[in-house]
Amino acid sequence: MRFEYEFHDDSGQWYRAYSNENWEFDELGYMKRRFASINDLPIQEAARSSDGKGKRKRLLNICAGRQRDFYPVE
């Protein structure tokens, strides 16, 4: 999986993280292994992702709990 997301630290500095990850889940849907390569790039707040209409785009939504509850296996 490849994705990017934005976050800020306690001082208010914004970062954009670029990530390549491999997730492995157990038979109950809980993550049992995660391999990740993540690079954090400092950005200005004005450089944060936008949808072009002044609204921030959602870059990543990670759900807590069992993944099968959010993404059922067929």
The domain that holds 17 is classified in CATH as 2.10.70
Distance CA 56, CA 68 (A): 28
Does residue 64 fall inside a structural domain? no
Q: What is the pLDDT along the chain (74 residues), one digit of tens a residue?
A: 777 888 889 999 999 888 888 889 888 888 899 998 999 999 998 888 755 555 566 655 555 555 555 555 55
Tell me how crowded residue 6 is: count the other CB atoms within 10 A of its CB.
Answer: 19
Does residue 11 fall inside a structural domain? yes
Pairing status of strand 14-25 against strand 31-43: antiparallel
Does residue 43 fall inside a structural domain? yes
Q: Could you give the number of structural domains in the chain?
A: 1
Does residue 68 fall inside a structural domain? no
Task: List the domain range (segments joined by +) for residue 3.
Answer: 1-49
Instruction: Give the strand order in the sheet containing 2-8.
Output: 2-8, 14-25, 31-43
pTM over 0.75: no
